[in-house]
Structure 1
Amino acid sequence: DVQFRWNTELEAIHGSQADGVTGATLVSHPREKGESGVDVERETVDVGGVFYAVGHTPNTQFLDGTGVERDEDGYIFTETDDAGRPRAQTAVDGVFAAGDVADPRYRQAITSAGTGSMAALDAEEFLETLQDADESTVTAIA
């Protein structure tokens, strides 16, 4: 039985090396009650595992006014090559994006690691094309 707990903070995981995960203490933060923390509910539940998701809002506001294109939710657009395959290059030369900020679909650590590798390879290729790498700045956003 899988239960989703929205707007809930994981305060503690209970168990041991020998027994594994046996429970969790959760603090519920209903949105309509504000962010004061006064009206929270705390409960301890028996569980055999915890799958933790921290949210899916990309932290890309710092890119406002930079020319890096984003969708309405803040995910960074990256380019494709001539065959339509994804690249890590953004619309701004020397700026590459990888991981959750460029992945509105999967948002998983393993895909973030893969796109991080893509961004590194694309940045390396970009640097090799420059006449004088010392005069340019390369930024990777992950």
Structure 2
Amino acid sequence: ALYLAGLCRKVYMIVRKNYLRASKVMQQRVLSTPNIEVLFGHVTKEIVGDQTVNGVILTDDKGQEKRINIQGFFVAIGHTPNSEIFKPWIETDETGYIVTRPGSTKTNIEGVFACGDVQDKIFRQAVTAAGSGCMAAIEAERWLAEQK
């Protein structure tokens, strides 16, 4: 979220729990960054768009739904890949991990990138997730530049 905040006007950080599990220093950095909005107690119900992402529908812990207009979606989730929502479109392996091209974060859909534990079933470490997150951000930035 912090890296994306340097590239985007607005970053929504969707957190399933009502708290962050990162270190206090990292929590404070995220919470004090003006263009990051943390949405606690929310889950992603649906990503909206035909050829490109243009929105996300979230459900809060009270069952209320809301739509947010967005232009991109990055996934960073816990130890078990919570990729079920993507399976109709994005290729996953037999254990639910999103499949990416070797040496890349590109998925089977142009303009959609996967990083972190949702696609890394070997290392599953914060440092490797951060590295692949950086890779995905760079690849997304290059892809967006090519679209202009």
Q: What is the TM-score normalised by the length of structure 1?
A: 0.48
**Rg larger for:** 1
Q: What is the TM-score normalised by the length of structure 2?
A: 0.46
